Amino acid sequence: MKTINVALIGYKFMGRAHSNAYRQAAAFFDLPAKPVLKVLVGRDQAAAQQVADQFGWEEVATDWRQVVERCDVDLIDIASPGKTHRDIALAAAQCGKHILCEKPLANTLEEAKAMWYAAEEANVVNMVNFNYRRTPAVALAKQMIEAGEIGEIRQWRSAYLQDWIIDPAFPLVWRLQSAISGSGALGDIGAHSLDLARYLVGEIEAVTSLTKTFITERPLATATTGLSATGGSTRGPVTVDDAAIWLAKFAGGAIGTFEATRMAPGRRNYNHFEISGSKGSLGFNFERMNELEFYRHDDPAGRQGWRTIQATEPSHPYVSAWWPAGHGLGYEHTFTHAVADLCKAIAEGGKASPDFADGAKTQAVLEAILRSAKSGAWEKTSMA
Ligand SMILES: NC(=O)c1ccc[n+]([C@@H]2O[C@H](COP(=O)([O-])OP(=O)(O)OC[C@H]3O[C@@H](n4cnc5c(N)ncnc54)[C@H](O)[C@@H]3O)[C@@H](O)[C@H]2O)c1
């Protein structure tokens, strides 16, 4: 069997999620090439080594620049904060490496476009990890839309709600600093909703928005793990949005409302959307990720109502690789699906999806939303 040697940059939240995916992908999916956990890159060698030992990485390294140049590495996986994405991707493309990059693709449209053009020019397989597309229920929604089951799409409404920063004592982690993360709830979770909207409905051509920072100063972070952190006594300014809401006009004629917030008590990872079409509706909430809600307008009068499809049948996307119907999948499976699809694209010389062009188009909408939050006006999305 062919192999794909992977170098993964970042070993914390996404580092662990991606490490697990590389371990699982070839065991569950029939892949033309198997990922090899070659080198895990982290600035703190001892901490990276601990994760490397847990997941079975062959080596650790502290300098990504040396790693991207290695001839025994085929794929560079960027699982570090947004500020680092462009430089790593440009160097990787220059060395002819395939690239998987965490979302959002970059911190600005300019950076995202540079990454897209560099990957195209180098003719390397490139993918941005909007992993929620690869939830079986979401991929099923895509199939149903393409089969015309809800007719012409008229409205999109989404709310991506979290609550992990509601405590004012929660530290100023990198996600709350625009120089590292680009934006707040908007780019962190709103970007996922935008990707889903582009995937399921189509391109967005104009937006009008409102952003808000409720807690403007926080203790500096002394340590972070996943979405948890501890802080010290010194404080610093929050330079990103805590919440963002926006209206959107889709190029195909549909209209949309979006909300992204990390200030919704009780909502942990409530990534919700509902799509209204001329013949029916679809609804999804990641906190119940194995279910897809479906309403058909042509059901007999007196028998109409929302039904809940358990997206765990072998006929549903990705599911046949896993467990019998009804046994359910979790968050980590979305990453394994991404890695499986990426390995197929690399081995077969195909294209991955969503690719850097998609990442850049989502970035153009993020920028238009930020422009509108300042101007108070409708702003057209523009790739210029
Ligand atoms: N797809 C998803 O569902 C999802 C979820 C969470 C995060 N993300 C994305 O993944 C990326 C990483 O987020 P995270 O939650 O894993 O963050 P994290 O803070 O848990 O981990 C960041 C990692 O990057 C490393 N790092 C930071 N700066 C670096 C540099 N200059 N050089 C090398 N390594 C560096 C850190 O040491 C750490 O290992 C971000 O782009 C984020 O938006 C995606």
Q: Does domain 136-288+290-329+363-375 have CATH number 3.40.1160.10?
A: no
> Ligand 1: does its nearest atom lie under 6 Å from the Cβ of 34?
no
What percent of the chain clears pLDDT 90, i.e. is strictly above it?
A: 96
Mean pLDDT within 72-77: 98
Q: Where are the domains of the chain?
A: 2-131, 136-288+290-329+363-375
Q: Which atom, in ligand 1's list, is nearest to the CA of 335?
A: 1
Q: Does domain 2-131 have CATH number 3.40.50.2300?
A: no
- 381 pLDDT above the threshold of 80: yes
Q: How confident is the model at residue 1 (pLDDT cuts 50, 70, 90)?
A: confident
Q: How confident is the model at residue 223 (pLDDT cuts 50, 70, 90)?
A: confident
- 287 pLDDT above the threshold of 80: yes
State residue 285's pLDDT score: 98
Q: Is the pTM of this model over 0.85?
A: yes
pLDDT tens column, 340-354: 999 999 999 999 999
State residue 317's pLDDT score: 98
State residue 364's pLDDT score: 98
Mean pLDDT within 114-133: 98
| CA 55/CA 119 separation, integer angstroms | 29
> Ligand 1: does its nearest atom lie under 6 Å from the Cβ of 12?
yes
- 226 pLDDT above the threshold of 80: no
Please compute Rg for the chain using Cα positions: 21
Cα–ligand 1 centroid distance for 80 (angstroms): 3
Mean pLDDT within 56-64: 98
Instruction: Say if residue 298 is exposed, middle or buried (CB neighbours under 10 Å; 0-12, 13-18, 19+).
Output: exposed
